[in-house]
Amino acid sequence: MPRVGATIRDEFPIFETATYLNSCSQGALSYRVRDAVYEWLAGWDANGAEWEFWVDRNETFRADLAALLHAEADDVAVTTSVSQGVSALVSALPLDGERNRIVISEYEFPTIGQIAHAQELRGAEVVHVCPDDDGSIPAERFADVVDDRTALVCCTTLSYRSGHRHDVAAIAEAAHAAGALVLADSYQACGAVDLDVRALGADIVTGGTVKYLLGTAGLGFMWLRPELHARLLPTQTGWFADEDIFAMSIADYSPHASARRFDSGTPPVPSLYAGVAGLSLVAEAGVPAIEAHVRGLATRLLDGLDELDARVPTPREPSARGPLVCVRSTDVEELVATLAREGLIVSSRNDNLRVAIHLYNVEEDVDSLLEALQENRHLLA
């Protein structure tokens, strides 16, 4: 029986004092993750150097994350963040020739936009794809600007600004027809949306553990289509990207044959302990069960927002959204602060109130939020 909703809620102490609906910013802390961090400290205290076990934690996370993505461990790089992984990725792209265009959507996290524009120093041209009036970015918008000059197309699987879900497969089809690679940043989806990376269509998929994977900051991943391993040779690298990390050679550059060539330096050990523990909670519940649970609660929320005549940029169609529902506000910072005083933890981006639902939320959470929004209707657009 999957542990979602009330059956898992007692793992997360924050619900003793608050209604937590902010997993798009950070997942709630579980007792299991807290215990794992204490385990790291206790082992360090008892044994001093635990390098072999720390390296094992790195490989455990790689394997567990690969299983969650329906992938192979050799196709996953363990990173400290999406920034680190994508910086290494673009370092492997020759951008000083004819194929120097990077296409990004307006819904990318600053990580992607900033890294893309940094490549202008290497001769890249960066093109932005803007949303339609309804907030969606149809695949045709990408197809309009992708051509034989395009090296990389970046699209979020799910927008952190609006809750829209990209049609990654259609975007990838257009990009591949022009010979371009596709990066799908899936930080806002992984752990709450069932992702089969091969079926998704992208060549590279990134994410991290601080949100729906229930870990902490400082740990991420980058999956690469296995056919790319030999083709992409990063110049941004580190010790753990070597073919033999314990050879301790400084005589040459010998990147690993697998996606490990996109690992970096010393692994983020404390975050690995937390990450493995958080992943175990997600895996035990099962992402398909989490996705179904979240979909039902999001539908309940959207129905209630309709009754309030609220303006909601997030699509109603379940296949076009995920765990994040956004609501327009006339003063979103005041609304977030007011809800916090009432014990409802949410967040904002632009003029949108962000409500992020996860495996530990229940119907009462949604109803409490709707009641509070009714009381503060003057702050809704």
7-35, pLDDT tens digit by residue? 999 999 999 999 999 999 999 999 999 99
Question: pTM of whole model > 0.75?
Answer: yes
Distance between CA atoms of residues 157 and 320, nearest Å: 10
Domain-terminating residue out of 222, 255, 282: 282
Residue 206 shares a structural domain with residue 258: yes
Task: Band the pLDDT of 101: cuts 50, 70, 90.
Answer: very high
Residue 265 shares a structural domain with residue 175: yes
Residue 130 shares a structural domain with residue 274: yes
Our count of domains for the chain comes to: 2
Q: Which residue has the tokens 């099962």?
A: 286
Distance between CA atoms of residues 304 and 123, nearest Å: 50
334 CB burial (10 A radius; 0-12, 13-18, 19+): middle
Residue 141 shares a structural domain with residue 241: yes
Residue 175 shares a structural domain with residue 303: no
Q: What is the pLDDT of residue 143?
A: 94
What integer is the mean pLDDT of 273-281? 98
- Number of helices (H), then strands (E), belonging to the chain: the values are 11, 12
Reply yes or no on whether the pLDDT at 351 is more than 90: yes
Give me the half-sphere count of Cα atoms (radius 13 Å) on the Cβ side of residue 234: 26
Q: What is the pLDDT of residue 15?
A: 98
Residue 170 shares a structural domain with residue 236: yes
Distance between CA atoms of residues 116 and 111, nearest Å: 9
**Kind and range of the H or E element at 327?**
strand 324-328
Task: Report the C-alpha dihedral over residues 333, 338, 343, 346, rounded to 10 degrees.
Answer: -20
Contacts 24+ apart (CB under 8 A), 372-377: 372/338, 372/339, 372/342, 372/344, 373/305, 373/308, 373/310, 373/327, 374/308, 376/335, 376/338, 376/339, 377/308
**How far is the CA of 148 from the CAs of 38, 99, 145, 184, in angstroms?**
52, 7, 10, 20
Q: Which residue has the tokens 């009381």?
A: 375
Average per-residue pLDDT in the chain?
A: 96
Distance between CA atoms of residues 381 and 366, nearest Å: 19
Distance between CA atoms of residues 366 and 369, nearest Å: 5
The closest alpha carbon to 149, from 220, 198, 97, 110, belongs to 97
Distance between CA atoms of residues 326 and 161, nearest Å: 8
Distance between CA atoms of residues 349 and 301, nearest Å: 19
Residue 63 shares a structural domain with residue 96: yes
Token pair belonging to 357: 């639902």
Distance between CA atoms of residues 254 and 293, nearest Å: 46
CA R_g for the chain: 21
Residue 149 shares a structural domain with residue 249: yes
pLDDT digits (tens, 9 = 90+) for 155-181: 999 999 999 999 999 999 999 999 999
Residue 114 shares a structural domain with residue 174: yes
Residue 301 shares a structural domain with residue 353: yes
Give me the DSSP letters along 50-75.
-HHHHHHHHHHHHHHHHHHTT--GGG
Number of neighbouring beta carbons within 10 Å of residue 7: 14
Domain-terminating residue out of 282, 304, 326: 282
Task: Band the pLDDT of 253: cuts 50, 70, 90.
Answer: very high
Residue 113 shares a structural domain with residue 255: yes
Q: What are phi and psi of 126, to 5 degrees?
A: -110, 130
pLDDT digits (tens, 9 = 90+) for 51-82: 888 889 999 999 999 999 999 999 999 999 99
Domain that holds residue 84: 34-282
What integer is the mean pLDDT of 223-233? 96
Residue type, 195: L
Residue 24 shares a structural domain with residue 41: no
Contact 79, 220 (CB under 8 A): yes
Task: Band the pLDDT of 259: cuts 50, 70, 90.
Answer: very high
CATH of the domain at 12: 3.90.1150.10
CATH of the domain at 61: 3.40.640.10
Domain-terminating residue out of 282, 308, 328: 282
